[in-house]
Amino acid sequence: MKPLLIGEASNLPSGEVFGGRSGERLALLCGMTLERFLESFERVNLLDRWPGRSGGAKGHLFDREEARRSADRLDLRGRIAVLAGLRVASAFGLRRVEFLKRTCLGRGESGIWVVPHPSGIVRWYNEESNGRRVGNLLRRLLKLCAASSVRS
């Protein structure tokens, strides 16, 4: 089983989950092409469509109730999942989030990790060591899933 990468919503016309700049950033941090990265992870967004820009300087509108309903429908039992961003984490009921630390939702999942949203407006990635840590985590989770598939 592949790790599950959970995002907010695609702003691509195709709806490809992590098929744009956010996916490219994560792929680069993992040392992969975008195509290989997309094949390596199962991917899902909480919202079916990008909700548009907010009136503020950065970010976009985000329907928290719709995201919460989508999160409730996801079956994470026995899964390793990566939540991309604080909005996604909050849809799963996580309030105090430590990036890159394993957490549990109490739903029988194997592990949940939260990474900052990989969009270009998130400055957390400007620190090179932060990006390296995300890449290391994603590669480690891929190896962990591959090892558990071999044992099954």
Q: Which range (5-14, 124-133, 137-146) has the least confidence? A: 5-14
Whether the pLDDT of residue 28 is over 90: the answer is yes
Give me the percent of the chain exceeding a pLDDT of 90: 64
**In angstroms, rounded to a whole number, what is the distance separating the alpha carbons of residues 25 and 100?**
16
d(CA 11, CA 20): 8
3-state secondary structure of 110: coil
Looking at residue 15, its pLDDT comes to 75
70 pLDDT tier (thresholds 50, 70, 90): very high
**Cβ count within 10 A of residue 71:** 20
Average pLDDT over residues 26-41: 97
Claim: this prediction has a pTM higher than 0.85? yes
- Do 102 and 113 form a contact (C-beta atoms < 8 A)? yes
Tracing tokens 């909005």 back to the chain, one arrives at 87
Distance between CA atoms of residues 149 and 136, nearest Å: 20
d(CA 8, CA 24): 16
